Amino acid sequence: AFVKAYYRRGISHLALGKTKLALQDLRAVARLRPNDAAAQAKMRQCEKIVRLETFEAAIRTEEAASPFDSINLDEIEVEESYTGPRWDEGNI
């Protein structure tokens, strides 16, 4: 088995931010060499990063436009019988 190639490719993927691909390779290394402490440590580090990315993606929201942005005060018609305060050229 090409353990060294899997390890190097996993580390390269991790450096490029391709964490899920890195995790696949690092898990293969850990499976092929279960007593390799360095490989186990890298796999655990990569698992942490993948979990963090998954969590961040789950809580990420797109900022929605405020409904107040769509209000045009000039288009609002006020009945003549209204006796409350009026907006008149920037003055109340």
pLDDT tens by residue, 56-70 = 999 887 877 788 888
- Residue 86: which residues within 8 A CB-CB, separation 6 or more? 78, 92
pTM of the model: 0.64
- Give the 3-state secondary structure percentages of the chain, helix then strand then coil, rounded to 5: 60, 0, 35
Q: Is pLDDT of 86 > 80? A: no
Burial class (CB in 10 A: 0-12, 13-18, 19+), 40: middle
Reply yes or no on whether the pLDDT at 15 is more than 70: yes
pLDDT in tens, 16-71: 999 999 999 999 999 999 999 999 999 999 999 999 999 999 988 787 778 888 88
91 forms bridges with which residues in the sheet? 88
Q: Which tokens is 57 given?
A: 């993606």
What pLDDT sits at residue 92? 59
Q: For tokens 């209204």, what's the residue?
A: 82
